[in-house]
Amino acid sequence: MYNYITFGITVLILIISAITDIKTKKILNIITFPSMLLGILLMVIFKQYSFIGIRLIWMSVFFLLGTTGMVGLGDIKLLMAMTSLRGIEETSMALLLGAVFLAIYCFITETSMMKQIIRETFHYFTLKTEIVRISEKKYPFAVFVFAGYLTYIGLILLITNFCK
């Protein structure tokens, strides 16, 4: 029961966040903060005590990541809400796949910028030069996280059914 409830809430907050991120370039605090608290409350109600500590630690890690400015704070709060509800495995896979999808999208739509990013990244790792911020363009990352989450869940279901 716990898994169904948290899955449904997670999909709902991802849908709402993706829509608001596209329309307003913002992820609403009224969605993320209550979701974080609800995730913790549901762990207590369903006696999932062993998850509380590790999820709070990972939520703190995401918060610290947000202070770097690499990802928007709304995206960070969305990842924290997902971690509270579903745990780090699903959240990190949604984040990883979302980042891959965003990179593919950027590579297709903004080829010259992507070539420059690859070149700058290569120089950073080989020559230890400072990375120059190439673009201030913002992307609705919640859309890509949602796509990453659905892809991950779909792959899990496919593998689970294939192995039966």
pLDDT, tens digit, 9 for 90 and up, residues 24-52: 999 999 999 999 999 999 999 998 878 88
Encode 120-153: b = buried (16+ Cβ within 10 Å), e = exposed.
Answer: beeeeeeeeeeeeeeeeeebbbbbbbbbbbebbb
Domain ranges of the chain: 2-162
Angstrom distance (rounded) from CA 10 to CA 26: 18
Residue 59 in contact with residue 23, Cβ under 8 Å?
A: no
Task: Output the pLDDT for position 101.
Answer: 93
pTM metric for this prediction: 0.82
Residue 47 in contact with residue 1, Cβ under 8 Å?
A: no
Provide, rounded to the nearest whole percent, the portion of the chain with pLDDT above 70: 87
